[in-house]
């Protein structure tokens, strides 16, 4: 991870947006915008220069958010942002590489890429905007659609079991895993700060909202009501150690859910090859890249 200096300047979101692309395409009340703000705020607080930031995204409303960021951005293909990000990070380890993805993007079509990115533990921050639905394409069921919920492809309600993205990432080896809701903007910003500072693969799930397509179909209320309903669902991390059993069936853990100091990909690579080739300065054989 590149060294960053804390900035003393007040956060002004317009400094980080491509304002020439405004008005944006998001629906009123979409949670993705709140997540984008918190992410940019974290980047500002860490003093990460825009030139040193690369944001890679897939396809979807989630993926489209990257286009509005005034930094190096790559809008890739559906399900593949982590593959592009892996290549970029290997070629340019000096960059902060952030992936913005959706639940359809990286748990359905891109699920395989996600588990291997977690396993490799390259120094990338992956932000999963989970709105429980394929928002951009009209509201089809996704791997995180809650039980019983109506989507355009589950007219009788969803009966499939739901992926817990954080448990999946932890099991696959991500060395930093966290979750937040959009109601907690400053907590979300702080989680992004921790994830960005972490050396290794950091996976952050944001419980977002699709008000227009998902919320409307399921009569979940307006945007503030949807956001408030997540607040009722969460179980703060601080309760984790003192309560043995979930106190509500819908309890959702938030905060940093798991963190290990497993060596980051490059460090592990150097350690592995360094042992075999002492004093080697050939990068192709694991030597120093200068």
Ligand X SMILES: Cc1ncc(C[n+]2csc(CCOP(=O)(O)OP(=O)(O)O)c2C)c(N)n1
Q: Which is nearer to ligand X, 86 or 131 (CB)?
A: 131
> Using CA atoms, how far apart are residues 198 and 70, in angstroms rounded to an integer?
23
Beta strands of the chain (E only): which ranges? 53-57, 72-75, 96-102, 124-130, 133-134, 140-141, 176-181, 202-207, 234-236, 252-259
Q: Does 102 bind ligand X (CB under 6 A)?
A: yes
Identity of the residue, 58 or 255, whose beta carbon is nearer to ligand X in the bound complex:
58
Site string for ligand X, 244-283 (x = CB under 6 A): ----------------------------------------
Q: Among 40, 55, 88, 105, which residue sits at the site for ligand X (rule: CB under 6 A)? A: 105
84 in contact with ligand X (CB under 6 A)? no
Q: Under the criterion CB under 6 A, does residue 142 sit at the interface with ligand X?
A: yes
Which of 135/200 has CB closer to ligand X?
135
For residue 94 the two structure tokens come to 């000096």
Cα dihedral across residues 116, 66, 73, 40: positive or negative: negative
Q: Which is nearer to ligand X, 21 or 288 (CB)?
A: 21
- Mask 30-69, x = binds ligand X (CB under 6 A)? -----------------------------xxxx-------
Which residue, 212 or 251, is less far from ligand X as judged by CB? 212
Across the strands, what pairs with 255?
179
- Closest to ligand X by CB, 32 vs 189, is 32
| Smallest distance, ligand X to C-beta of residue 264, A | 27
Footprint (CB under 6 A) of ligand X, residues 119-138:
129, 131, 133-137
Q: Other C-beta atoms within 10 Å of 223: how many? A: 19
Of the candidates 222, 229, 184, 180, the one whose C-alpha atom is nearest the C-alpha of residue 205 is 180
Q: Is residue 258 classed exposed, middle or buried when 0-12, 13-18 and 19+ CB atoms within 10 A define those classes?
A: middle
Q: Of 217, 27, 34, which is closest to residue 141 (Cα–Cα)? A: 217
Question: Which residues lie near ligand X (CB under 6 A)?
Answer: 59-62, 78, 102-105, 129, 131, 133-137, 142
């Amino acid at each position: 991870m590149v060294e960053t200096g804390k900035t003393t300047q007040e956060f002004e979101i317009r400094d980080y947006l491509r304002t020439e692309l405004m008005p944006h395409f998001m629906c009123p009340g979409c949670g993705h915008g709140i997540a984008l703000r918190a992410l940019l705020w974290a980047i500002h607080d860490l003093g990460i220069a825009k030139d040193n930031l690369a944001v890679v995204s897939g396809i979807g409303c989630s993926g489209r958010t990257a286009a509005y960021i005034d930094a190096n951005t790559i809008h890739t293909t559906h399900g593949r942002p982590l593959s592009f990000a892996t290549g970029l990070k290997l070629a340019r380890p000096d960059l902060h590489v952030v992936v913005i993805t959706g639940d359809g993007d990286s748990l359905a079509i891109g699920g395989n890429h996600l588990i291997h990115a977690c396993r490799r533990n390259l120094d990338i921050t992956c932000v999963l905007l989970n709105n429980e639905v394929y928002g951009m394409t009209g509201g089809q069921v996704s791997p995180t659609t809650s039980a019983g919920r109506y989507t355009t492809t589950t007219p009788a309600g969803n009966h499939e079991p739901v992926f817990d993205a954080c448990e999946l990432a932890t099991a696959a080896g991500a060395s930093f895993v966290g979750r937040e809701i959009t109601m907690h903007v400053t907590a979300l910003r702080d989680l992004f700060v921790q994830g960005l500072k972490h050396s290794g693969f950091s996976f952050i799930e944001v419980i977002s909202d699709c008000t227009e397509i998902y919320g409307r179909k399921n009569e979940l209320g307006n945007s503030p009501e949807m956001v408030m309903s997540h607040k009722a669902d969460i179980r703060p991390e601080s309760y984790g150690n003192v309560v043995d059993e979930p106190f509500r069936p819908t309890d959702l853990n938030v905060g940093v859910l798991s963190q290990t100091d497993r060596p980051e990909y490059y460090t592990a690579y150097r350690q592995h090859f360094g042992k075999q080739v002492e004093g080697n300065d050939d990068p192709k054989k694991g030597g120093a890249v200068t």
